[in-house]
Chain A
Amino acid sequence: MSQVVSYEVDTYQNNRWVLECVLDDKDMALSTAKRLYDTKRFAAVRIVQETYDEDENSSRERVIFETTIADRENRAAKQTQVNTTPKVDRSERHPLRKRPRVEAPVVEKKGPSLWLLLLLLGVIVAGGFGLLLFLQSL
């Protein structure tokens, strides 16, 4: 299948699209379109990719790039908005304050104290030792 691709650069003038030039190189077409648009003489500029099928003798067209005055104005407005966003005056900033230290909550101990447990352990050991001596004496 043999296809020939070309790029038509159109400008919008007097409510219609006007063909300006035809190129076979996409980058060149983009550069040409942007340069035409930058002249600010046209309401819009677009690139139409035309793919010609030599075998079928038919062609397909699709717009691959289009930019209008509205796009430019939107971009300009967006740029203005970015530039006019109020900056924080450093002098108005408050110095950072230290976060107040939060005391760890006092956990109320529950259950027997350590001393009581040690005493219990001592009683068990002594009891075991006494039982051992008793068994030995039998």
Chain B
Amino acid sequence: MAEYTGIERRLVFRLLDYWERQKQERSMPSLADIKEEDLGDDWDWCFLISLGDEGENPVFIHVGSLIWPAERGILKGTGVLECPEPSLIKQATAFMPRVLKLGVPVSIGGECEDGGDKLLYRSTLMPLSSDDVFVDGLFGGANCRKVANG
């Protein structure tokens, strides 16, 4: 397991805190509770996924520019299962089934490749629900640093 310095952990903690605050007395917040203006600079490290009614075709409704630079193309509106591999966004959404199964935030870190670079990353994925019963969205975030060569 890779060792992480504070900077990778801090984003995850901030997002977990935010998710916790936004849920209030519910078991999880809704998609509408996640607001760009609340997250400031962290918004660019975040992504939002809508699962739709059946949850069978998850679609990105926001992907931060620091996770997926705009020059690589637009991921907003595309299916999560179609996101390119290898990439940080692919890695950060890889444990989506586990979050859907457990209904709680999950945080995973490790090594991945993105744009030809080898990265150490830490990501989190948190469930969202508009009725507090069925998970119909996901809020995620990830940040990383390049692994020094040699």
Which of A21, A24, A27 has a CB less than 8 Å from the CB of B105? A21
Chain A CB within 8 A of B107 CB: yes
Chain A CB within 8 A of B13 CB: yes
Q: Are B104 and A24 in contact (CB under 8 A)?
A: no
Which of B4, B16, B110 has a CB less than 8 Å from the CB of A21? B16
Please, which residues of chain B bring their CB within 8 A of the CB of A27?
9
Interface size on B, as a range, is 10 to 19
Q: Are B104 and A28 in contact (CB under 8 A)?
A: no
Taken residue by residue from 11 to 29, chain A's Cβ proximity to chain B (1 for < 8 Å, 0 otherwise) reads as 0000000011111110110
With A25-B4, A28-B12, A31-B13 as known contacts, state yes or no: A20 contacts B104, CB within 8 Å: yes
Q: Are B102 and A28 in contact (CB under 8 A)?
A: no
Q: Are A25 and B107 in contact (CB under 8 A)?
A: yes
Chain B CB within 8 A of A32 CB: yes
Whole-angstrom CA separation of A66 from B4 in the bound complex = 24
With A24-B1, A25-B4 as known contacts, state yes or no: A19 contacts B108, CB within 8 Å: no
Chain A CB within 8 A of B146 CB: no
Cβ distance B121 to chain A, nearest Cβ, rounded Å: 12
Please, which residues of chain A bring their CB within 8 A of the CB of B102?
19, 22
Q: Are A21 and B106 in contact (CB under 8 A)?
A: yes
Q: Are B98 and A25 in contact (CB under 8 A)?
A: no
Q: How many of chain A's residues have a CB under 8 angstroms from any CB in B?
A: 13
Please, which residues of chain A bring their CB within 8 A of the CB of B13?
28, 31-32
Please, which residues of chain A bring their CB within 8 A of the CB of B9?
25, 27-28, 31
Whole-angstrom CA separation of A5 from B102 in the bound complex = 16
Which of A5, A21, A35 has a CB less than 8 Å from the CB of B107? A21
Taken residue by residue from 10 to 31, chain B's Cβ proximity to chain A (1 for < 8 Å, 0 otherwise) reads as 0011001100000000000000
Taken residue by residue from 95 to 115, chain B's Cβ proximity to chain A (1 for < 8 Å, 0 otherwise) reads as 000100010111111100000
Whole-angstrom CA separation of A25 from B16 in the bound complex = 14
15 extra interchain contacts, Cβ-Cβ under 8 A, other than A22-B106, A25-B107? A19-B102, A20-B104, A20-B105, A21-B16, A21-B105, A21-B107, A22-B102, A22-B105, A24-B108, A24-B110, A25-B1, A28-B9, A28-B107, A31-B9, A32-B13
- Contacts from B to A (Cβ < 8 Å): 1, 4, 9, 12-13, 16-17, 98, 102, 104-110, 122
Closest 4 CB pairs of A and B: A21-B105, A23-B107, A22-B106, A21-B104
